Amino acid sequence: MGWWAFDALFSKKLTSRSPITFSSINAAASLWNKKGALLIASSALLVSLSNSLVHSLKPPIPTSQLLFLKAGIGFILCLPWLSRYWVAIRQTPNKHWHTQKIIIGAIGNACWLKALQELPLADATTLSLASALLTTLGAALFFGERLRFITLIALILGGIGVILTLAPSLSIFSWLTILPLMSAACYSASSLFVKKVSIIDTTYVTLFYLLGGMALLSAPFALVSWIPLTLIDSAKIITIAGLYCVVQWALIHAYAHAHAGYLAPFKFIRFPLAMLIGSFWFGEILSFHVIIGGILILGACLLIQYTRHDPSYLLRTQNDLSKKS
């Protein structure tokens, strides 16, 4: 693949002089889809570790304090790296979109942290997987991304797997189940906002506003409910913040370039990881329904992985260029 394809992928600049063909754009977009899938899968591993650390924190640590420390420490850790993009951060025309993403991100993170503290790890993770379905639907409705028949089949299988895991659990049917579902909806909307702002802004600009904005938004609530922390819990929270920075970079980078519908099912990987961690680390009991549900979810991921999908935004750019020429 020629130099222009990589330049188009990384700098998002396509000109009428670039030797663009449908097959070359398809190959470039396919490459980014696979790279995005790898980023999502890697972030799933880190998210599982972070969720386990939150689940292991000694209660009662207020959710607002956790959110403030998670975002604030993460912002401080990333600041030397992000400050190099200060001009782009200051001049971005997407400040209103970033503000909405901050609010949605804060709500989603607060609901998720509370769910991890109150619900079994596997139960909370199962309900959070609804974000994959919502992201795929939102990508189709708002960005015109086509849903192939095989993609729908895979998502249906994943949904059936999620439902099966809920069947044997009695604790899941309480008001607490609203928390991971609300978090799933917020994370889905946040992913779609990334697609919106990535037309102009880079990953670093988005990460700067997200971390800094959530820290500022949660600060007043954290100060009101603040409690002293043990040394072990402090170390865990610092680790959680560091993992959050890496995960957000991976997610933003993946959704900014790759096909959102292609990436969504890879979030299902978090569930079998949560089952294993919950069983071996926290002694949570796994039922037959949960195991079968996990197998269906993994099958849905594999089905998506080996299925060819439409190119990403580069195809739409190529079509626009064709109409102008």
Q: Return the pLDDT at 135.
A: 67
Q: Is 2 part of any domain?
A: no
Asked if residues 121 and 55 have their Cβ atoms less than 8 Å apart, the reply is yes
Encoded tokens for 100:
């909405």
CA distance 119 to 171: 8
Q: Judge whether 15 lies within some domain.
A: no
**Residue 60, in any domain of the structure:** yes
Amino acid, single-letter form, for residue 178: I
Task: Express each pLDDT in 182-220 by its tens digit.
Answer: 888 887 787 777 777 777 888 788 889 989 999 999 999
Domain-located, residue 5 = no
Asked if the structure places residue 4 within a domain, the reply is no
What the block records as the tokens of 165 is: 């895991």
Minimum mean pLDDT range among 68-72, 136-140, 188-192, 221-225:
136-140
Domain boundaries, position 68: 28-318
Does residue 102 form part of some domain? yes
Residue 109 belongs to some domain of the structure = yes
Residue 285: pLDDT over 60:
yes
How many separate domains does the chain show? Answer: 1
Q: What is the pLDDT of residue 320?
A: 41
**144: alpha, beta or left? (left if phi > 0; alpha if psi -120 to 50):** left
Residue 1 covered by a domain: no
Give residue 118's identity as a one-letter amino acid code.
E
Compute CA distances 307 → 26, 150, 292, 311, whole Å.
Answer: 14, 8, 23, 12
Q: Which pair of structure tokens corresponds to residue 12?
A: 């998002």
Helix ranges restricted to H, 129-202? 130-143, 149-166, 178-197
Q: How much is the mean pLDDT over the chain?
A: 75
pLDDT tens figures, 151-164: 788 778 877 877 77
Sign of the CA dihedral with 232 first, then 281, 272, and 63 last: negative
Residue 312 has pLDDT above 80, yes or no: no
